[in-house]
Structure 1
Amino acid sequence: MTGVTLQRTVKRYGEVQVIHGIDLEVEDGEFCVFVGPSGCGKSTLLRMIAGLEETTEGQINIGARDVTKADPSERGVAMVFQTYALYPHMTVEQNMGFGLKMNGVPSAEIKKKVKAASDILKLDDYLKRKPANLSGGQRQRVAIGRAIVRGPEVFLFDEPLSNLDAELRVEMRVEIARLHKEIGATMIYVTHDQVEAMTLADKIVVLRAGHIEQVGAPLELYRDPDNRFVAGFIGSPAMNFLNGKVMDGAVAVPALGRSVMPEVNLPMEGTEVIIGIRPEHIEVQRGQGGLNAELSEALGGVSYLHLGTHTDERIICEERGDERAREGDTVDIAFEPRRVMVFDAQSELRIR
């Protein structure tokens, strides 16, 4: 059993602290994704697990071993980076087996392990090619294959798809998901793309400024976020947020010109709150209301309608079907009270 456990892990660069006492358990065989905005500490945390960054305080265990002070080569991990880092003068086969060769592994064993990895990643037709003759997606598969042949206990991925175009990103997401199912190894994956996180992860860790905001399964975070940050980060397009105030047992929302009654225990009268409603939970009612359709992003099967309000707050609605609002239309919106989330305006914590 080889999971990863972080206990009160801290990282400082001089006087600047970037990781703030993180506790986390990644189960054996789990696909765990670190997400968050740039600078939140997700790559630093991954590099601490790999041993590429020194842990200032706390403890990191891989399986039953304390590896906090261990060299990267002694941790039983393999890392796939954003850049492919392939040797241009070597073939695919040589690139994949180079690490084993440097460790003195016999040639016959290297060939066997490279062939096994090549079968998994469907690289058999490219083993004699050099990196210059491969596409970006094929190069990333070679980089993953190089990690596989080492037989690590834990795979670490640091934004491996960020250099690929949109089509290749989708293709490689599928490849990585299939790889995890086939190998069953523990994988920790860093991305700023919440779509990647939602489609790949068994568990998502949402980070902000070196702190964990929430940990959970993808749909758990989508349906039941703990605070405004998580609610706005998970989901695409992002959740709509509108300012409101508790009045007469409901929430008065100036942007809508009316009150809404969410199915939550509202705080005391006069409390400033924020309501959140996802674009896909809003119904657009054309030919009525006082919201201005400023932009319609037509993406084929779905359109995203951007609405302006007299409070200058913006609302994005998802529309499907043949009849959709157009730019310049005046519309109203409707939604089910159970779909509305409420957050404290000061702490931004969820009110349930």
Structure 2
Amino acid sequence: MSGVTLTNAIKKYGDVQVIHDIDLQIDNGEFCVFVGPSGCGKSTLLRMIAGLEETTGGEIKIGARDVTHVDASERGVAMVFQTYALYPHMSVEENMGFGLKMNGHPKDEIKAKVSEASRILKLDDYLKRKPKALSGGQRQRVAIGRAIVRGPEVFLFDEPLSNLDAELRVDMRVEIARLHKEIGATMIYVTHDQVEAMTLADKIVVLRAGVIEQVGSPMDLYNDPDNKFVAGFIGSPAMNFLEGIVTGGKVVIPSLGGREVETKVALPAEGQKVLVGVRPQHITIEAGDGGAVLDLRERLGGVSYDYLIAGDGEKIIVENREIDTLPEGSSVIVKFNAEDCMFFDANSEERLR
């Protein structure tokens, strides 16, 4: 097993640059998740590490080896794709061992490695079945088992759960977390789902337009985002952003009837706009003329989400764990503590500290 190091990694398609000077260190045994919206470059970056995309500039190392221009088959990585890509005419056992068979490994060695992967993934009862007799989650476990038997230095996952339904996604997420804990291998995982990122990762890399916005542990990114993009992307439901104006050393929020928020962060000059970020669970509401209306309540059992419309059309989401008291259409007062707020420059969207 080995770590992965990227230094000034660049990817261009003709004159179009899609990956911009990526510097990243993924330590040996770490579970690293690339996350970001569609088109941010996360899958391209993963494929560059795998050797499936040519690296235009910079350097990629796996362990101490420079693999920037090494063929994919020689990099010591194994990749699990969104599609299972199993051979339909082969059994589970044959699918898992096929790569080793093609490389001339002895039958006893193949059998032992397939048996170990089957034990880890709880596939012993399915080894003689064909893929058509398996569920989607079982097929994905077979695809992961095929990667395990190769004994790679690094596992690469490209949105492996996207084809599964919601319940299976949760089950497979647990399976992958358990797999990492058991084998301790370096794993790099691509997803657009920040819930998967938060629950699986030791380290999250947030990407936007081919650039790393921030790198850190899940809770570091949640509690201490560097900018509005990271603050809004990490956390579900997303953080609320309210437009404020610096007035007399405080921030005034016009959409909430001129609500004043005091803060010790370094604010811009008098009259400048800032964004006030507040997470849904830090907001409460009560009946009254506070400049907002309860537009819709989404009930999810133990928790509800209240969707508010503020005075100038700003939308606010509130996490509500109380018994429903206010009907939809009610005028409400929005309440939150200043210490629960984050402040962002309205132009650069960088965090004010």
Q: Structure 1 residues 134-143 or 249-258, which shifts more? A: 249-258
CA distance in 2, matches of 1:82, 1:324: 44
- Percent identity between matched residues is 72
Instruction: Return the alpha-carbon distance in structure 2 between the equivalents of residues 90 and 263 of structure 1.
Output: 65
Q: Is the 8 A contact 2:256 2:290 kept in 1?
A: no
Corresponding residue number in structure 1 for 2:15: 15
TM-score for both structures, normalised by structure 2: 0.98
Q: By how many angstroms is 1:288 displaced?
A: 5.2
Pair 1:191 & 2:191 matched: yes
* Rounded Cα–Cα distance in structure 2 between residues aligned with 1:297 and 1:247: 35
Query: Given that residues 255 and 291 in structure 2 are in contact (C-alpha distance below 8 angstroms), is that contact kept between their aligned partners in structure 1?
Result: no
The aligned counterpart of 1:221 is: 221
Paired residue total: 352
Give 1:321's aligned residue: 322
- Please, which runs of 5 or more residues in structure 2 have no aligned partner? none
Give the drift of 1:324. 4.4
Residue 63 of structure 1 is matched in structure 2 by 63
| Contact 2:305–2:319 under 8 Å retained in 1 | yes
Cα distance in 2 for partners of 1:121, 1:74 equals: 26
- Could you say which residue in structure 2 is the equivalent of 1:305? 306
Shift of 1:322: 2.2
Query: Which residue number in structure 2 is paired with residue 295 of structure 1?
Result: 296
Q: How does 1:156-235 map to 2 (within 5 A)?
A: 156-235=156-235
Mapped to 1, the partners of 2:101 and 2:289 lie a distance apart of 71
> Any idea what the Cα deviations from partners look like across 1:173-196, whole Å, max 9, x if unmatched?
000000000000000000000000
- AA matched with 1:286: A
- 2:273 is aligned to 272
Q: Which moved more, 1:147-156 or 1:262-271?
A: 262-271
Code of the aligned partner of 2:293: N
Question: Post-superposition shift, 1:200?
Answer: 0.3
Q: Displacement of 1:255 after TM fit?
A: 1.1
- How many Å separate the matches in 1 of 2:113 and 2:54? 31
Give per-residue Cα distances to partners, 1:130-173, cap 9 Å, x unaligned: 11010000000000000000000000000000100000000000
The amino acid that maps onto 1:122 is K
The letter for the 1-side match of 2:222 is Y
- 1:136–1:164 contact (8 Å) kept in structure 2: yes
Please state whether the residue corresponding to 2:256 is helix, strand or coil. coil
8 Å CA contact 2:308–2:317 kept in 1: the answer is yes
Corresponding residue of 1:32: 32
- AA aligned to 2:168 is L
Q: Distance in 1 between matches of 2:263 and 2:178?
A: 40
Partner of 1:342: 343
Residue identity matched to 1:230: V
Partner residue, 1:245: 245
1:126 is aligned to: 126
Cα shift at 1:272: 1.2
In 1: Cα distance, 2:287 partner to 2:279 partner: 19
Q: Distance in 1 between matches of 2:285 and 2:35?
A: 32
CA deviation profile, 1:200-235 (whole Å, cap 9, x unmatched): 000000000000000000000001000000000000
In 2: Cα distance, 1:159 partner to 1:262 partner: 40
Q: CA deviation at 1:347?
A: 0.4
TM-score by length of 1: 0.98
CA distance in 1, matches of 2:133, 2:163: 17
- Describe how 1:78-93 pairs up with structure 2 within 5 A: 78-93=78-93
> 2: CA distance between counterparts of 1:262 and 1:164?
45
Q: Deviations for 1:9-59, whole angstroms, at most 9, x for unmatched residues?
A: 000000000000100000000000000000000000000000000000000
Q: State the distance in 2 between where 1:31 and 1:110 align.
A: 27
**RMSD of aligned residue pairs (Cα, Å):** 1.0
Query: Distance in 1 between the 2:326 and 2:199 partners?
Result: 30
Could you tell me how far apart the structure 2 residues matched to 1:59 and 1:34 are?
18
Map Cα deviations across residues 293-351 of structure 1 (whole Å, 9 max, x no partner). Answer: 11111000111100011211100000003244331122112111111111001100000
